[in-house]
Every structure is written in C-alpha cells, then in structure tokens.
C-alpha cells in the first residue's frame, strides 16, 4: 500500500472514507475520541492516482464540506440509487446488495412422497 502523510505518526488512528462519482474523501480519526487528525480529498476526474490532496485547498472547501456531511451521514445514506443495506448490523458493517427487480427464487429439492 502507498504511504500517506500520517504513516508512522500515530498508531491509534483509523481512516473513514467515502467515494462519490468524482471524488474520494478520507478522515483519519483517533480511536476512542473520534478526533479528526488528518483529512484527504482527491479529485479523481483529473488525478486518478490520487497524488494531490486537495483537503487544505480553499478552492475545494465547498466540496470538502459536502463530503464531510456525507461521511457524517453514514455510508448507508451515500449508497447510489437502487442499492440498499441488506442488514441491520452495527455501524461500520459493509453488507449491502443491489435491490433485485424480482424476488430471488431458490430451487427446492423434490419432496419424497
């Protein structure tokens, strides 16, 4: 994996990301306190390798704020249209599925008569 600016600085941190059609936003937070220690924001339309972090750039402030809001709302609220959560598991679970148009039919074995 590629190293980030926070590698080796803190061991008690965890990253939370959200990806939209054109951007990826990541917040690095202290475990236990949830304090944000670093943010990353990449414009994937122009920077496919995510080399330039735009989070501190004032030009991207509105977009960074919007992605913060999406991340706070939770990944379930950010799912694309037609995709729903398939479970009621706790925060952080990534179970999801594409909503089928028709119920899935599971073949049943023949009954012995």
Residue with the bigger pLDDT between 8 and 55: it is 55
The pLDDT of residue 7 is above 50: yes
Residue with the bigger pLDDT between 105 and 21: it is 21
Calpha distance 113→17 (Å, rounded): 55
Q: Delineate the domains of the chain, giving CATH numbers in brackets.
A: 13-98 (3.30.1120)
The pLDDT of residue 8 is above 90: no
pTM beyond 0.85, yes or no:
no
Spatial CA neighbour of 20 closest among 90, 94, 84, 77: 77
Question: What would the pLDDT profile of 63-75 be if each residue is shown by its tens digit?
Answer: 999 999 989 888 7
């Amino acid at each position: 994996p590629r190293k980030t600016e926070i590698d080796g600085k803190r061991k008690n941190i965890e990253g939370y990301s959200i990806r939209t059609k054109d951007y990826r936003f990541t917040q690095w937070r202290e475990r236990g306190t949830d304090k944000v220690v670093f943010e990353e924001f990449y414009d994937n339309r122009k920077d496919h390798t995510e080399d330039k972090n735009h989070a501190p750039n004032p030009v991207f402030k509105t977009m960074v704020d919007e992605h913060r809001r999406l991340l706070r709302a939770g990944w379930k609220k950010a799912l694309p249209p037609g995709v729903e959560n398939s479970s009621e598991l706790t925060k952080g679970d990534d179970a999801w599925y594409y909503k089928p148009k028709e119920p899935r039919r599971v073949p049943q074995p023949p009954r012995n008569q």
